């Protein structure tokens, strides 16, 4: 199937551009206009959410979803914030995402140090194992984890979610970081050895500082992935005061009496942190996507 897709991928997409003579001002305008319209359509949902989050119900029923708000109405968002105790949800999400990101980077570094720099025997097997652990559907782990967490009194705790997600993210981190560490400059390691540094000291003083950019990319990815995670919090965080942002929003949506403007307000509050992270980490993210591709 994949080869088929690749050849098709090569064949199809360029047709619309073919007749154009690149370079002409008309073509330039046409291409830019086309791209602007297309990207605008992709981004339109964000705009629609934004304008409706500031409307009252009456305003919405009068003007419909595309009209600008007749006045800036904040009460809907304030009501929503209080109703789901959004501040608490933000804090839960932050605690879980930050803990997972830190722990998973540490575990990834330790694993990759042993595999990539230590060149352990059987490292391919280890790598395949970590890769596999990342590819597994969470459904294949979740029931035993659910059962075990109840046995160990960890059910319905943030700690359980942190432990599971740390393992899953670190699996990816180990896989990626091992190939980065494999190309670690040996001269640096030798210099550290000459200075009499042990393995742990070499790791902390040489390897970690040198690979800081890659580690920050990993941290960013882990943080955002964990922040966005839905499946595990859905199963493991039952109490309202433990829930994360995505979970609280989905649960609220499940209660059918929710009106449109509340939906819009809640969607906006879900989008804002994600977009903020995106803007803050944009460079790191694109760099990370790239380094993930070229091994």
Give dist(CA 102, CA 219) in Å, integer: 7
Does 102 sit near other proteins (CB under 8 A)? no
Of residues 86, 130, 222, 236, which one binds other proteins by CB under 8 A? Answer: 130
Window 166 to 195, contacts with other proteins (CB under 8 A): 166-168, 170-171, 174
Using CB under 8 A, which of the segments 71-79, 83-91, 185-193, 220-228 binds other proteins?
220-228
Q: Closest separation between CB of residue 150 and other proteins, Å?
A: 9
User: Quick one: CA torsion of 76, 82, 85, 88, rounded to 10 degrees?
Assistant: 100
Give dist(CA 256, CA 61) in Å, integer: 18
Give dist(CA 214, CA 105) in Å, integer: 10
Window 26 to 55, contacts with other proteins (CB under 8 A): 28, 31-32, 35, 39, 42-43, 45-46, 48-49
Q: Compute CA distances 43 → 33, 48, 164, whole Å.
A: 15, 9, 34
72 in the Ramachandran plot: left (φ > 0), alpha (ψ -120 to 50) or beta? beta
Does 224 sit near other proteins (CB under 8 A)? yes
Does 137 sit near other proteins (CB under 8 A)? yes
Window 248 to 267, contacts with other proteins (CB under 8 A): 249-250, 253, 260, 263-264, 266-267
Q: Closest separation between CB of residue 241 and other proteins, Å?
A: 18
Cβ(73)–Cβ(259) under 8 Å?
no
Cβ(56)–Cβ(73) under 8 Å?
yes
In terms of CB distance, is 141 or 180 closer to other proteins? 141
Q: Closest separation between CB of residue 159 and other proteins, Å?
A: 12
Does 98 sit near other proteins (CB under 8 A)? no
Neighbour count for residue 179 (Cβ, 10 Å): 15
Does 289 sit near other proteins (CB under 8 A)? yes
Using CB under 8 A, which of the segments 4-12, 68-76, 78-86, 208-216 binds other proteins?
4-12
Cβ(276)–Cβ(286) under 8 Å?
no
């Amino acid at each position: 199937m994949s080869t088929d897709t690749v050849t098709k991928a090569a064949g199809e997409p360029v047709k619309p551009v073919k007749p154009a003579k690149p370079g002409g001002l008309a073509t330039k305008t046409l291409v830019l206009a086309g791209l602007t319209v297309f990207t605008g359509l992709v981004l339109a949902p964000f705009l629609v959410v934004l304008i409706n989050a500031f409307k009252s119900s009456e305003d919405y029923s009068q003007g419909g979803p595309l009209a600008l708000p007749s006045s800036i109405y904040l009460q809907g968002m304030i009501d929503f914030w209080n109703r789901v105790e959004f501040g608490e949800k933000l804090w839960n999400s932050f605690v879980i995402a930050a803990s997972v990101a830190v722990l998973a980077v540490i575990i990834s570094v330790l694993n990759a140090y042993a595999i990539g720099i230590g060149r352990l025997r059987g490292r391919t097997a280890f790598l395949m194992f970590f890769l596999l652990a990342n590819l597994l559907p969470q459904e294949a782990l979740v029931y035993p984890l659910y059962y075990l967490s109840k046995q160990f009194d960890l059910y319905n705790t943030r700690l359980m979610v942190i432990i599971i997600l740390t393992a899953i993210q670190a699996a990816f981190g180990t896989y990626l970081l091992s190939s980065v560490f494999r190309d670690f400059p040996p001269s640096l390691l030798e210099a550290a050895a000459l200075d009499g540094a042990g393995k742990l000291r070499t790791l902390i003083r040489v390897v970690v500082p040198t690979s800081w950019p890659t580690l920050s990319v990993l941290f960013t990815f882990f943080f955002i992935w964990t922040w966005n995670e839905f499946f595990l919090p859905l199963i493991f965080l039952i109490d309202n005061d433990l829930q994360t942002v995505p979970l609280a929003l989905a649960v609220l949506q499940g209660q059918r009496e929710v009106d449109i403007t509340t939906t819009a307000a809640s969607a906006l509050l879900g989008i804002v942190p994600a977009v903020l992270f995106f803007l803050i980490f944009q460079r790191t993210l694109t760099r990370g996507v790239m380094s993930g591709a070229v091994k």
